[in-house]
Amino acid sequence: MTEPDGPPPPQPPRKLPADPFWRRFRELKPEVTLVLLPEAAPSGTDGQGRDERAEATAPPPVDSATVLAEAEQAGRHLRVAARSLMLDGEPTDTWITPARGLIAARQTLVATTPPDLPDARTIAFQLSRLGWDTVVRASRRPHTTWVEGTGRGRTLRFSAVGDTTTLVVTSAPLPVAADTDAELRGEPRG
């Protein structure tokens, strides 16, 4: 048997995949053996579309005492911000539930807008000195001020419309069990 001289004889044409990318790849790189595997479920899913990683890394539910402590902490931050902006009034507790199984503690303060309220940029600067990462939001309404901030795992929203000022501090959504959610919904609101 003699060794063949030159390139190997041409192979019969292979069926190319319908995807134009792989067809072009095959045309440009005929020397590369291309093996396409059947499409499978994305990595990290259980084949039913549920993300196993998200379920494995989900934090454990917190109890009502943790949520109440988070509300009190949000209230402290709200009081400090209100004093800095010279707003009068006391915060009121409310709860918001963005989705079943998550609950966020929210503290709200509604006050009369002081006549010498600074402009939005000055308010944003004062809040940033307190540790909030602030953004001034534009408003289509005249005589309206919007400032939003984030920090310490919480969000802050300041708005002044006409003669009313609202300051809201909200905790991050906390995972809670169904019984804790029901217990917190039964709590008296201020």
Residue ranges of domains in the chain:
64-185
pLDDT tens readout for residues 96-115: 777 777 888 888 999 888 88
Task: Enter the pTM of the model.
Answer: 0.63
Amino acid identity at 50: R
Amino acid identity at 162: G
pLDDT of residue 152: 82
**Do the beta carbons of residue 142 and residue 101 sit within 8 Å?**
no
Whole-number Å distance between alpha carbons of 178 and 99: 12
Check if CATH label 3.30.365.10 holds for domain 64-185.
no
Tell me the mean pLDDT in the region 177-188.
74
For 51, residues 6+ apart whose C-beta sits below 8 A from its C-beta are 44, 45
Whole-number Å distance between alpha carbons of 67 and 180: 9
pLDDT of residue 179: 82
**Do the beta carbons of residue 79 and residue 167 sit within 8 Å?**
no
Whole-number Å distance between alpha carbons of 176 and 184: 10
- Tokens (6 digits) for 105: 């503690």
- Tokens (6 digits) for 104: 């966020």
Give one word for 128, left, alpha or beta, with left for phi > 0 and alpha for psi -120 to 50. Answer: alpha
Q: 16 pLDDT exceeds 60?
A: no
